[in-house]
Amino acid sequence: MRKERIGRFSAVAVMTFFAAALVLNPSFSRADEHLEPRDLTGKSVAIVAGEGLHDGETLFPMGFLLNRGAEITVVGVESGYVKAYNSDTWVFVERSVDEVSVDDFDAIVIPGGRSPANLREHQNVVNFVRGAVEGEKIVAAICHGPQLLIAAGVMEGRAATCFPNMAEEIIEAGSEYDDVPMIRDGNIITSRVPDDLSEFVAAIEQALSE
């Protein structure tokens, strides 16, 4: 099977996906209805990806932020290809979390799917996420992405949302759960499902612009 590399050096491929998403689901464009597009040039964002990621929850934020001028680095357990669970999409992990520092980034984005459950088994990834939250970086997690935040032990007393079937998990972690498209509590942004991507990326854009 031919693997299409998705990473820093394949912005055209990502933006093609981004444009297709806008055509297939016009509701994605709602991210721009209330806010003028912001220039994120000079901002650096890590996409934390692992085997079993959700393709749209990975590529849409990547394309959106690239379009705003942000620099994107896909990080994970180790460099190499990881496959989406819901399609034949392959994403190239450019750097291991051991090769980067939280201080290299202004924000990290944690897509959902099965990736977070796989990544939380790796202490170096959990430590990276914890360091980002404690370092006051913007940390945005969608769908099952909050599983990594729970593993990092940073959700006590936080308001958050997530994929509905893991609501009990996030409540048990001490979070105040609400079934809404997006919640921002300080430097943590959470969303539920792909239909919430417009609110999710708009919140990331806003946070990076502050």
CA 149 – CA 160 distance, rounded (Å): 11
**Contact (Cβ atoms closer than 8 angstroms) between residue 108 and residue 158:** no
144 classed as catalytic: yes
Catalytic residue among 34, 54, 122, 144: 144
CA 40 – CA 168 distance, rounded (Å): 35
> Strand ranges (DSSP E) for the chain?
44-48, 71-76, 80-83, 90-93, 95-96, 107-110, 138-142, 159-160, 176-177, 182-185, 188-191
Nearest-5° Cα angle at 105, 101 to 106: 145
**Contact (Cβ atoms closer than 8 angstroms) between residue 158 and residue 127:** no
Annotated catalytic residues are 144
